[in-house]
Amino acid sequence: MATTGPFNLATTYLRLRADNSAEPLPVNEELWPKLMSGQLGTFHRESLVTMISFDSTWNNWEMHPHGDEIVCLISGKVSMVLEIGGRE
């Protein structure tokens, strides 16, 4: 069943399914553990759309071993390091 918006991506993430439907996922403390543990599935042929804001340096690494990530910088500046095959 398709869900209509509009959605505020700061408070609701969207799971875009292979059948072109969108499932809203409320942003709360339970979401990321469920995503990381696979409780919400593998997202095979699906996408997770999020919007995250940072106002200071983010000093930890992030990785997506089972999927790709697209980053859209809306404002400000960012330095990113891409590691492939153990090389930066």
User: Is 0.75 surpassed by the pTM of this model?
Assistant: no
Q: Which residue in 88, 46, 54, 59 sits closest to 71, CA to CA?
A: 54
Run means of pLDDT, 10 residues per run, the chain, 88 residues: 70 89 88 87 86 80 74 84 85
Q: Retrieve residue 48's tokens.
A: 């997770």
Beta-bridged to residue 24, according to DSSP, are 14
Q: Quick: pLDDT tens for 45-61.
A: 888 888 888 888 877 77
Residues 52, 59: Cα–Cα separation, whole Å: 15
Computed over every residue of the chain, the mean pLDDT equals: 83
* Residue-level pLDDT at 7: 81
